[in-house]
Chains A and B, each alone.
Chain A
Amino acid sequence: MKSKLFHTLVLSGAFFLFVVLCSALFLLDRFEPVIAEDIIKNLPYSGVSHDVTAVLLNFRALDTLMEVGVIFLALMAIYTVKPHFRYKPLSFENTITNTFVALLFPLIVLCSFYILYGGSYQSGGAFAAAALLAGGIIVLRLVKPRYLSDLQELSLRFVYVSGLLFFILVGIWTLLSGSFLEYRGDIATFFIISIESVLTLSLAVILATYFINAVQRFK
């Protein structure tokens, strides 16, 4: 059959590709951590004590700006197909799920803020905290949809926009006395912490909207 010939062709090509890639990757030279030494040397001037956070928000801040822009663009793209879906809440009132979400949601908010502000001296940062908070909002929406049903659409749009807008405004502020998004020293700590806080709240709401994207059914 034609399908069997296609299957065997693809599988043999895949095996051949596997051998080629493995041999190519094993023939590479030994990795020299040149850039990591540069990063550790410049770490006291960057405003934080953790190297990954310094790279994400100080040395390569433009990449983080583009990443927030891509998330916002995906949100706008989802908004174009949003009015097609209507939401039918299907959750029954239940003691187990009510107690579970009442105990879990404050813990999620607490852990999210701990991860956010621990990003300056240990692993963490804005993106893990935003993802955790988005998970908490999704759980809240699934168990008790009435808590989130009377949010105004206009204030929600301000929250979506605020992360990207604050980042760009900080960049323009530093453009007036240097390059775009270039800061060092004590002012860098202030900028990084403020950018991360606004970014966490905004990204959490955007990531939760990826899931809760149906128009409410009006009775």
Chain B
Amino acid sequence: MIMIDILLLFLLIWLSYKIATLKDIFRVSVNFIVFGMILSLVWLRLGAFDLALAEVALGAGITGALLLDTITFLKQYGKDYEK
């Protein structure tokens, strides 16, 4: 079981490194949604079941949808968005 833990945590650290260094906004948002889903699995491995339910619905669901909506808005009005 420790191999699953190591795999999940390595994926989490890799995703957070990519979020901190990428420049394209769409890739950052998709990485954030995947980060939320993998974090929900980590909560499951730690034994916090309420947190797993709430994280996948709030963190990866609603925050992800809000981010993608803002990106669509910025395509029209955000021509000078700094990269």
Give A contacts to B, CB under 8 Å.
52, 85, 115, 123-125, 127-128, 131-132, 134-135, 138, 207, 210-211
A134 and B54 alpha carbons, distance in the complex (Å) = 12
Instruction: Specify which chain A residues have a CB less than 8 angstroms from the CB of B50 in the assembled complex.
Output: 52, 123-125, 128
Distance in Å: Cβ of A109 to nearest Cβ of chain B: 14
B49 at the interface (CB under 8 A from A): yes
Within 8 A of A (CB), among B24-83: 49-50, 53-54, 57-58, 61-62, 65-66, 69, 73
Q: Given the interface contacts A210-B62, A211-B62, does A131 sit within 8 Å of B54 by beta carbon?
A: yes
Contact B58 A131 (CB under 8 A): yes
Give B contacts to A, CB under 8 Å.
49-50, 53-54, 57-58, 61-62, 65-66, 69, 73
Contact A127 B62 (CB under 8 A): no
Contact B62 A123 (CB under 8 A): no
Instruction: Specify which chain B residues have a CB less than 8 angstroms from the CB of A123 in the assembled complex.
Output: 49-50, 53
The CB with the most chain A CB atoms within 10 A, among B49, B54, B66, B69, is that of B54
Contact B62 A128 (CB under 8 A): no
A194 and B53 alpha carbons, distance in the complex (Å) = 21
Sample of 9 A–B contacts (CB below 8 Å): A115-B53, A123-B49, A124-B53, A127-B58, A128-B50, A128-B54, A131-B62, A135-B62, A211-B66
A161 and B35 alpha carbons, distance in the complex (Å) = 33
Contact A134 B49 (CB under 8 A): no
Instruction: Specify which chain B residues have a CB less than 8 angstroms from the CB of A210 in the assembled complex.
Output: 62, 66
A42 and B15 alpha carbons, distance in the complex (Å) = 42
Contact B65 A128 (CB under 8 A): no
Contact B54 A211 (CB under 8 A): no
Distance in Å: Cβ of B21 to nearest Cβ of chain A: 11
Distance in Å: Cβ of B81 to nearest Cβ of chain A: 17
Contact A127 B69 (CB under 8 A): no
Contact B57 A132 (CB under 8 A): yes
Closest chain B residue to A142, Cβ basis: B65
Instruction: Specify which chain A residues have a CB less than 8 angstroms from the CB of B61 in the assembled complex.
Output: 131, 135
The one of A128, A134, A207 in contact with B53, judged by C-beta atoms closer than 8 angstroms, is A128
A134 and B62 alpha carbons, distance in the complex (Å) = 8
The one of B49, B62, B69, B73 in contact with A207, judged by C-beta atoms closer than 8 angstroms, is B62
